[in-house]
Amino acid sequence: MTRSKTLLVITATLAAAAALAGGYRALRQHAAAERLTIVVPPGVDEAGFVDIGGLGQWVSIRGDDRANPILLVVHGGPGASLLPIAYDAFRGWERRYTIVQWDQRGAGRTFGRHGAQRTGTVTVAQLASDGIEVAEWARRRLGRAPVVLLGHSMGTIVALEMAHRRPDLFCAYVGTGQVVRMDRNEEEGYRELLERVRAAHDAAAEAELRRVGAPPYRDLDTLLAERAVLRAHPPASERALEGTLAQSLLFAPGLGLRDLYDWVAAQSFSLRAVLPDMMSYRAAPEALQVPVVLIQGSEDIQTPTRLAAQYLSTLSAPAKELVVLPGAGHSALLAEPGEFLAALDSSVRRYAAHPAPAAE
């Protein structure tokens, strides 16, 4: 066979493989869309760009019944939108709540539309201002209140600031993977991670942690090196989570290949932009004027549950509760969505029906 014919065969084979892969992905995306079907009315299923903070930001509203309580989810990362990875995890939630999510400034489709140059300054203060606008918009769009505010991981920093600024918008604050003080989070997390890798007899991981050294971390590369070890040693409940989320991302309905690229690129952009704010963060000690429920995994060492419990014990609020999910880790809302939903129903839903009075 001549060289030109060989190249032609290789090209044709690659093209056929790409077509098959594309067809398989389309089938999986269609199957996911079928699972996510919501009957409208009485439900709601809307997504699009909304002018938030002078920037078109992607906002989604989904739920089986518009009469259900509104649950505004503030994602973490930074820049890691939950929309293309949590749709299966949240499907059960949508039968009980009307879920509002948005790709924050510097995340997901919002980042894809504007890019690094037109996104503007990304700070915790700006993200909190954007979040307040999203809450106000959602209340107008759905024609009612109140709103349950849920923050995850770095999103707890943003959501707590939202609740402090505008308690009138929210009937309850829910934190999971609650950040309290980044310096203490990192110190205790490093210590507990070292214990975990020793218990696993992973000498290579222990050597890597010793090479990285104990926090505080002054540069992004060192932080990411420590996080790589953390991701490789999750609790049992989250051992399959990265693979599950990767599949969800690849087969997310309506997500194009460019959207996929933007979802990944956004996290690198946002982490660099928000890192100074994030690493110096300390949760405000003053009173919060809404009920507070922290839902933590017992095995969360990225944002240690012991620190969250200490913070809650010193916080003044109309009502407060710590719910610990046995065996769960930092991403309990994704790894164990059924148990997390049960905690929402038992400890949070009542505040949406009967908003608590402001704290003294």
pLDDT in tens, 88-99: 999 999 999 999
What span, in angstroms and rounded, lies between the C-alpha atoms of 242 and 315?
34
- Among 39-43, 112-116, 215-219, 249-253, which is the least confidently predicted range? 215-219
Q: Which residues 6+ apart lie within 8 Å of 21 measured at CB?
A: none
What span, in angstroms and rounded, lies between the C-alpha atoms of 142 and 36?
20
- pLDDT reading at 281 higher than 90: no
Altogether, the residues listed in the chain come to a count of 360
Delimit the domains of the chain by residue range.
44-184+236-353
Q: What percentage of residues in the chain have a pLDDT greater than 70?
A: 92
**Hey, which CATH number is domain 44-184+236-353, 3.40.50.1820, 3.30.420.40, 3.40.50.300, 3.40.50.1970?**
3.40.50.1820
- pLDDT reading at 360 higher than 60: no
Helices (H), ranges, 154-219: 154-165, 182-199, 203-212
Q: At 236, is the pLDDT very low, low, confident or very high (cuts 50, 70, 90)?
A: very high
Highest mean pLDDT among 4-8, 100-104, 189-193, 233-237 belongs to: 100-104
- Phi and psi for 280 in degrees, rounded to 5? -100, 10
Q: Which residues 6+ apart lie within 8 Å of 251 measured at CB?
A: 25, 28, 29, 31, 32
Q: Does residue 297 contact residue 327 with C-beta atoms inside 8 Å?
A: yes
Q: What is the mean pLDDT of residues 61-73?
A: 96
Residue 260: which H helix or E strand, with range? helix 257-279
